[in-house]
Amino acid sequence: MRDRLEDKAFLILIVAVSLAFAWILTSFYGAILWGVVIAIMFAPLYRRLLRMMPERPTAASVIMLLGIVLIVILPLTLIAAALTQQGAAVVGRMQSGELNFGKLLQQVLDALPGWATGLLDRFGVASLGEMQEKVTSGLIKGGQTIASQALDIGQSTFSFMVSLAIMLYLLFFLFRDGDRLARGVKEAIPLQPGLRDELLEKFTIVIRATVKGNLLVALAQGALGGLIFWILGINAALLWAVLMAFLSLLPAVGAGLVWIPVAVYLLATGSFWQGAILIAYGVLVIGLVDNIMRPILVGKDTKLPDYIVLISTLGGIEAFGLNGFVVGPVIAAMFIAAWQIFSHQRKQENMGP
């Protein structure tokens, strides 16, 4: 009885100190999250490098850090700086009245044929003026939100640098001591060895597949979309590219939420060849990237249904901010993986020896 009471007290203590430690780290959870994700993503490359210099894990970790800084962080920093400039320019044009969403919408409405106007009335739109006011208000708020987020990147430079330093510092030790830390975590999980190993292996596979499948497809669609916007001479092409990259994380709708309205505007305002090129490019290039790249990067075994990805991504954004683009789908994938393992175990138990 006394031993059981001591065990319960010790378990309560472990839970309490674990929650307290997690609470301390909440301010830098983004840096910790991305440190772990990057370490998992680049672990195979680090092991390959370590085989080339087996007695020098510290040097191998430093080389990996330098490579990640040059290949990943430096380009993203340059893009963020350019994005900040374009965001500031967009805000300035909106405040000066040069960029007037109401005027742009009115140009589209004026170009609509009579049957389209009648169709709007049939769907309960009282007047085009009322619709214009509502849509314009929504566009202005959305544009201000996007532009302000770009400005926040520049205004929170110190916080970003601190988080980046923490991530790189943590990443060094995750590379150098990753295997030992993984063994310690594995031994501490109170599950049967077979079930524990299967769950951790599934977790690693899901992390790599989800991050590669979501982020690389998003980067590809954003880059391709920004390229065609730049070729067609559309203002703030980088800003639109980043927006398409974010939205492409949402299945079924994705980058089309950006390029389709722009194509409609180009057609409605007389830029027929530009609108036609954008539609053809969006369907044949941007739209096919997801269908071609995602199965290759993710694979059939870890691919989530589109509705799960959509719900988990939106829920992740609501709960974790921009980090939710990764956290949401990963949690959803682990949820499904855990239940699949549990169901498999139950079937084996029911079948008996």
Lowest mean pLDDT among 62-76, 216-230, 235-249: 235-249
pLDDT digits (tens, 9 = 90+) for 240-296: 888 888 777 776 667 888 888 888 878 777 778 888 888 898 888 888 887 777 666
Matching residue, tokens 């374009």:
86
pLDDT digits (tens, 9 = 90+) for 66-124: 999 898 888 877 777 777 776 666 666 666 655 555 555 555 555 555 555 565 556 55
Whether 187 has a pLDDT exceeding 70, the answer reads: yes
Say if residues 258 and 228 touch (Cβ distance below 8 Å).
no
pLDDT of residue 128: 47
pLDDT of residue 161: 79
Share of the chain above pLDDT 90, in %: 1
pLDDT of residue 112: 56
194 vs 112, which has greater pLDDT?
194
Whether 169 has a pLDDT exceeding 70, the answer reads: yes
pLDDT of residue 66: 92
Mean pLDDT of 230-245: 83
Whether 65 has a pLDDT exceeding 80, the answer reads: yes
> Over the chain, what is the mean pLDDT?
75
Mean pLDDT of 205-227: 81
Whether 33 has a pLDDT exceeding 80, the answer reads: yes
Read off the pLDDT band of 301 (50, 70, 90): low
Mean pLDDT of 141-161: 56
